[in-house]
Amino acid sequence: MAMKLYLDTANVAEIRELSWLVDGVTTNPSLVAREKRPFRDVLQEICAIVAGPVSAEVVALDRDGMVREARELAEVAANVVVKIPMTEAGMQAVQLLSREGVHTNVTLVFSANQALLAAKCGATYVSPFVGRIDDAGGDGMALVEEILTVYDPYDFPTEIIVASVRHPGHVLQAALLGAHIATVPYDVLKKLFGHPLTDAGIARFLKDWQQIPQG
C-alpha cells in the first residue's frame, strides 16, 4: 500500500494546482476562515475538485451537536470526512457516526491512548499533530511510531494521518515509519519537488547544451 499525501488547505487555487498529485484534502475552521467565503460553498467546490477524502470539521462541543453537524456535512458530498475533536463527547459522537456509515477523522490527538480510544470507537482516521508536539518540546514522530505499534497487533482499520506538518523532514519521517497518510501545507508540499543539486544539475546541463554546435 502506497503512502498517501493530502493537502492541508482550504484554498481552492492551491487544490486545483496540485489535484493531479494529492490523494485528499484536510481543512479546519482556521483554514476556511482565511478564505472569507461561506463554509459550505468552499467545501462543495473542494469536493468537486478532489475525488479522494475531504475532511471538514464540526464546531459543536457536545455529542448531539457534533452528530447533527456531522450528518449535515456528510450530505454535502460522498467524499466528505467529518473531523471530530478528541474529547469524551467527541468519541461518543464518533461511535454513533461510525454505526451510521459516516467517515470520521479524529483530530487534535496528542497521545497514543487518545489514538487507541479513537480506533475503538470506530474512527476512520486519526490525526496526531506532530508539529505542535515538537513546538512544545516533545517528539511528534515518536508519537506516530507509538500509534503504529499500538494499532498493529489488533488490525484496527483506522488510518493514521500525520498532521501539523511543519517541514519536508516530517513527510520523510512519516514515510519511513509507514504512516498511512501525511497531510501537508501547500508550501511544504511544493518544497518536496526541489533540491539545490537538482537545480545546479539542470543549470549545468543547459550551459553545456549551449556549447553543442547547432545545425
Single out the catalytic residue among 83, 120, 190, 191: 83
CA gap 178, 13 in Å, rounded: 30
Of 75, 53, 57, the C-alpha closest to 66 is 57
Answer whether 122's CB lies under 8 Å from 93's CB.
no
Answer whether 127's CB lies under 8 Å from 144's CB.
no
Q: Collect all residues with Cβ–Cβ distance below 8 Å to 214 and sequence separation of at least 6.
A: none
What does each C-alpha distance from 201 to 165, 196, 210, 213 come to in angstroms?
29, 9, 14, 21
What does each C-alpha distance from 113 to 53, 93, 120, 136, 148 come to in angstroms?
25, 18, 11, 19, 12
CA gap 213, 182 in Å, rounded: 47
Q: What is the DSSP string of 74-123?
A: HTT-TTEEEEEESSHHHHHHHHHHHHTT--EEEEEE-SHHHHHHHHHTT-
Residue 120 annotated to the active site? no
- Residues recognised as catalytic: 83
